Structure formats: C-alpha cells, structure tokens
Amino acid sequence: MPETNKVYKVGISGSYGGLNLGDEAILQGIITQLRRSLPVEITVFSRDAEDTKHRHQVEHVVPVRSLTRNEVKPEIQKLDLFILGGGGILFDAAIKDYLREVSLAHDNGVQVMVYAVSAGPLEDSNMQKLVKELLSQAAVITVRERNAKKILENTGLKCEIIVTADPAFLLEPEQLPKNTIMREHLEHGKRLVAMSVREPGDAAPDLKEMAYHEMMANTADFIIDRYDADIVFIPMEQRVLDRQHSHAVISRMLRPQRAWLLQGEYTPGQLLSIIKRFDFAVGMRLHFLIFAALQGVPFVALPYATKVAGILEEMQIASPPLHLVNTGRLISYIDRYWDNRKATKDKIKQILPSIKERALENNQLAVKLLTGEIKGQPMYPLPVKTKIKG
C-alpha cells in the first residue's frame, strides 16, 4: 500500500523536448497515468528543457544533453524511481546518450524501470554489451512490441522482458483552437487522406530518400485520381524535417494543387482530434499510425522499422515490406484497404481495448515499484562494469 502523504519522486528520460509529437504523446501518457495513481514529483530529463516545462508543467526539468555526468548525478540521487522510456531509443547511434543516466541510477541505488521501449537497429557489439550490462540491473523491463524483446534478448539479456504497449494508446482527444478546421481546410464535404513521411537517418538506415519521395508522390497522385480525395501531410516532427520531406514529396506530384501541409502547431491530443477528420491514412511514422488507429481511421503503412511492423502485427493489417515496396505494390495495398474501410474500422475497434489494457500495465508496474509491492531487484543481476563518461 502507498505510504500516507508520501510524494514519490520519479525521473523520466527519453527523446523529449518537442522534437516529435509521438514522443510527447508518450511522455504525456506516462505523466498522466502516474499522477492518476500516486502523489508524484516528476523530473523530466529533456533535450529541450524550456519546451518540456511549457508543454508538460512538471515539477523539474533537467537539460540532460548539456550537463556532465557529475552535474546530472544530484538529480538522479533524489529519485525513488528512474524511468527510461518510452519510445524507440535503444538503437546503436543513440544508446550512450540514454544509458548514461541508467548507469548513474545503478551507481546510486536508484531503481530503474525500462518503460515501453523499442529496440534496433542494434548491431554494434559494443552497444549490445552496454545494453546487456546496464539493462540487466533494471528492476523491470517492458517493451512495446515482440520484436524489441527478441532484439534485447539477442544482446544476452536473461532477465524477464514484458511485452506491453505504447503509452500513446492512452492519449485522449483535446479541444482544437478556434477556427482550426477552416484554417487547415479540413471542412466536411471533402474526401481527405492523411499522409506521413519521415527523414532517413540512424533510426531508418534503409530508407532511400529520392526513391521514397517519388513513390509517395506517385501514390498521392493515384489517391487523388482514383478516389477524388485531397492529400494532407501531417508533420509529426513539426519544426523542420517532416515539413521538408513533405514539401519534397509534393514538389514531385503531378497534382500538387490538391495536396498541402498541416500548418499549425498542435499538442498530441489536438492532433488526435484532427486525425478524426480523415477518411484514410497512409504513412510512415509510428505515432501517426497510432493516432489513426485511436480514431478508427483505416490506414496503410510503410514499415521502415520494426516498431512500425509491430503495430501492423497488432492491428492485423498487412503491409508491403519496405525493401521490396514499389509504387504499384503500395497502391495495391491502398486499393484493397480503401475498399474494405468498414471492415478495417471494425477490426481496429475490436483490437484496441486489449492494447490499451497492456499500455496501462506499464504504469501498474511503475506504481508497484514505487510502493514496494514489487522489489527493485533484477532476476539475473550482473555487476555494472561499464561507465559512460560525459
């Protein structure tokens, strides 16, 4: 049972700081569920402290990327629980950035929960070793898809890894600013298809920019011609990259006058409300697809990473494999799912409750760690030998 009048101090570290609305939806979900369960004082280890302070109104924000190990240490020492996650943060190029604080927590006797993460690409043997050594000391590890569990197990981890679901599945719609629908040209009476693109990079190493721009442009033109629908690109990373790549796709279209980019900056809950306006969705970013699922919008995805393949498996939605996809194959999937929109909606509606239940399990485990109902001891502890400098 929770201690009377105790305020539990929880630190949360992930890809937070307003760079991506999907990550902010994850953080919002974690914070909301914790606050509903216990009196908590939350510290977020953020890439942009000012954005996080404004967006989430938490008690403390640490600008973690600009601080040394010794400067971060006092922020870790005061915690009852350090949460790593959620999100797709365990890939080769980013691991050291996120595991430094895990190492500090272990050194200072603070229990660690790895919370609804994805993993991969994870091919560097040094990074695999680091993951094994540091995550083996975690009190609880949850992942948001089965393939992430397999990737972590392949590092040599032998402790229990629990498959749950993304906290963003618990997101609730929020009221839109006045005149949003008219300003964004989303009025009723039009057929609207939402599209999402992303940049190549460390999290999507097999993505070939020019080829996928051309494919998405041809696909958008097909949707316009076949279904008499307008295309609206949804930038999940609103500040720069998603906008650039959306404009690049539009510039290659034969009918660019029937495509545009969502212009305003919105919270995850507001974007969830906007997604409901669409008849269909075609996209790449994971949380764009999660938002579509939450609003019952049928979708087709390009699974550039295992985390995207994971949601498709959950929703029982087929997709073309990225390394084999071409415009014709993608169009055939879209045509199939467009014709079966009602059946897809019904399937999503049937599957969502069990996914949400698993998403809630993350918070239930965190609460049990805080209150002592489960002890913060890993099943197969290993000594932490690796120190991450910085």
Query: Do residues 242 and 236 touch, judged by C-beta distance below 8 A?
Result: yes
Residues with Cβ within 8 Å of residue 252, at least 6 apart in sequence: 213, 214, 217
User: Which SS3 state, helix, strand or coil, does residue 240 take?
Assistant: coil
Q: Which DSSP state fits 258?
A: G
Report how far residue 299's alpha carbon sits from residue 290's, in angstroms, rounded to the nearest whole number: 10
Query: Do residues 132 and 104 touch, judged by C-beta distance below 8 A?
Result: no
CA-only gyration radius of the chain, Å = 21
The answer, yes or no, to whether the previous bond of 121 is cis (omega within 30 of 0) is yes
What per-residue confidence (pLDDT) applies to 307? 79
What per-residue confidence (pLDDT) applies to 390? 58
Report how far residue 272's alpha carbon sits from residue 292's, in angstroms, rounded to the nearest whole number: 8
Report how far residue 211's alpha carbon sits from residue 167's, in angstroms, rounded to the nearest whole number: 33
What per-residue confidence (pLDDT) applies to 380? 37
Burial code of 65-76, b = ≥16 C-beta within 10 A, e = fewer? Answer: eeeebeebeebb
Report how far residue 243's alpha carbon sits from residue 196's, in angstroms, rounded to the nearest whole number: 10
What per-residue confidence (pLDDT) applies to 385? 46
Fold match between 8-170+355-371 and 180-350?
Answer: yes
Containing 50, the helix (H) or strand (E) segment is helix 49-56
All structural domains of the chain with their residue ranges? 8-170+355-371, 180-350
Query: Do residues 273 and 176 touch, judged by C-beta distance below 8 A?
Result: yes
Residue-by-residue DSSP string for 292-329:
HHHTT--EEE---SHHHHHHHHHHT-----TTT--HHH
Query: What is the domain class of 8-170+355-371 according to CATH?
Result: alpha beta
- At 142, phi and psi to the nearest 5? -125, 145
Question: What is the mean pLDDT, run by run of 10 residues, along the chain of 390 residues?
Answer: 80 92 96 97 96 94 96 97 95 92 97 96 94 96 95 95 97 96 91 90 60 92 97 88 92 97 95 97 94 96 78 83 81 94 95 96 98 67 49
Q: Output the CATH code of domain 180-350.
A: 3.40.50.2000
What per-residue confidence (pLDDT) applies to 190? 87
Nearest to 362 by CA among 6, 33, 78, 11: 33
What per-residue confidence (pLDDT) applies to 50? 94
Pairing of strands 230-233, 299-301: unpaired
